[in-house]
Structure 1
């Protein structure tokens, strides 16, 4: 099935490449050129239609079909899966003809081009999770549809734009939750809590609000912020009692706490502890330890014997080799 789709794509690419070299007779009048472009659009020959519409606009910039050809060009680019060209043509039309009776159509096509920008050929045939993709195009599409519904609330395209905005809002919220779980896995709990709170505050009404509360609860628990964790958990329990993170009313973290031990420690079940960097050995902690060492060097002489006794006791501790050989080689 996938091979068939790939062959189909290759055929379309070859067809587009061959038709892009089409030459247009200089004897064609404005009406004939426009009619041929319309016939190409009806036959879904979008590359040929683009060539004729661009020729029409260049030959007859002030003709009776010039403005309509610019609108048709936006549509042809969009159907030919050229979203950047479609958005550029739509922006140009809006800038040149802000009072045109069909300018709302240009806004709508601009939003559609951004809407489908991430849904390319592969996304049409492969089950890709759109919540894990870059949300830039989705955010642009939402803003462009918002312009349409705000400027032209009675437009014939407004209902479809509003429906797509609901989908895009849910998509953007789910993307924020995906990023928050990434931060949880990396033990960046402050960043995860901020992402969860952002969803709760800015995406009310989406299915991801419950997930945002669960992320906040888990992040605050990891940070030992008990009051904030309890408040988030109470809100989650009251509003989303069936959430996946709740079992019999008790919170169950979705992300397991990471094992920060080194591979040598895990392989020997903790008998041999390797020197690995843990969350407690971050750069900030190392700076604090360095400050402590510098302060210890500045201690008065009368306090140094106490420090030396502590260092002597620490040096008398048995090593892992002593424990492993039961002291035979001490």
Structure 2
């Protein structure tokens, strides 16, 4: 005799089968088994933390990621994301560290661990800063993240560390611009050189390179016959760095052509220095 089918049970099994197929379509069987047989979130967190303490950073990062995937709505999951980023950073896996930290900043901006996430991103790029004659992509990204960290979280311990790193990054970028600018001077491509030195004077006034940049601008503008800009460059240099050897060189260059430092209010150099308190241009003392 045929038995009446249990339609409710059949529907449940079909639904489960569909879910498994969907999981199989976007994840490996290992991932699926990990999710279905996951430990409680507090245990996974403790296990990951233990791996961190042992120095097994990459394994710890994977365990934190497993926790986030298996229990995405648990209290432990949110912190697991940023700790995975930190563990990847400690393991030297900077792309993975950046990806995890960026994910945290998007999902949980303004939370207690957000400064740490930005610090991880900035540190990952900062560690990849190269010498002035190399590509500065990592330096620019590090500087961007360091400024975000300082602006958004000024009271965090990471912000205080960021201040010194900002100075280093800016100095490296200024040195890179100077390197290229000097090359263009040697090639007598003075317009291209001016564009490089202009970046230093406009964006990196607090670095030591600004003195030479102003002298090089004097040199380039004199070569092009743009004497008013040359005179302004020397005036700025003399007002702010009267003891600088670069000022004495620039002043001598002007004097050799019968000129003296003088302010031009319409000069971009003058405008670049407007933010400096109590600034006025004048001749040599």
Give the alignment's TM-score, normalised by structure 1.
0.60
Q: RMSD of the TM alignment (CA)?
A: 2.7
Distance 1:240 1:174, change over 3 A: farther
Question: Is 1:40–2:40 an aligned residue pair?
Answer: no
Is the 1:241–1:249 contact (alpha carbons within 8 Å) kept by the matching residues of 2?
no
Distance 1:85 1:231, change over 3 A: same
Residue matched to 2:261: none
How far residue 160 of structure 1 moved from its aligned partner, in angstroms, is: 0.6
How far residue 178 of structure 1 moved from its aligned partner, in angstroms, is: 1.1
* Aligned-partner Cα distance in 1 for 2:148–2:251: 43
How far residue 49 of structure 1 moved from its aligned partner, in angstroms, is: 1.2
Residue matched to 2:244: 242
* Aligned-partner Cα distance in 1 for 2:173–2:220: 21
Question: Is 1:207–2:218 an aligned residue pair?
Answer: no
How far residue 28 of structure 1 moved from its aligned partner, in angstroms, is: 4.2
* Aligned-partner Cα distance in 1 for 2:111–2:231: 56
Is the 1:83–1:117 contact (alpha carbons within 8 Å) kept by the matching residues of 2?
no
Residue matched to 2:184: 183
Is the 1:210–1:240 contact (alpha carbons within 8 Å) kept by the matching residues of 2?
no
Deviations 1:168-214 (A, max 9, x none): 12221111111111211222111111221221122222101111112
Question: Is 1:64–2:80 an aligned residue pair?
Answer: no
What does 1:156-305 correspond to in 2, within 5 Å?
156-237=157-238, 239-243=241-245, 246=248, 250-251=252-253
Residue matched to 1:92: 103
What does 1:30-179 correspond to in 2, within 5 Å?
30-118=41-129, 130-179=131-180
Distance 1:39 1:251, change over 3 A: farther
Deviations 1:279-315 (A, max 9, x none): xxxxxxxxxxxxxxxxxxxxxxxxxxxxxxxxxxxxx
Distance 1:201 1:32, change over 3 A: same
* Aligned-partner Cα distance in 2 for 1:230–1:112: 42
Provide structure 1 residue ranges, at least 5 long, that are not aligned to the other structure.
Answer: 1-22, 120-129, 253-330
* Aligned-partner Cα distance in 1 for 2:138–2:200: 19
**SS of the residue 1:205 aligns to:** coil
Distance 1:196 1:240, change over 3 A: farther
Provide structure 2 residue ranges, at least 5 long, that are not aligned to the other structure.
Answer: 1-32, 255-285
Higher gyration radius (CA): 1
* Aligned-partner Cα distance in 2 for 1:27–1:94: 26
Distance 1:86 1:237, change over 3 A: same
Is the 2:48–2:60 contact (alpha carbons within 8 Å) kept by the matching residues of 1?
yes
* Aligned-partner Cα distance in 1 for 2:38–2:107: 29
**SS of the residue 1:218 aligns to:** helix
Structure that is richer in helix per residue: 2
* Aligned-partner Cα distance in 2 for 1:105–1:131: 28
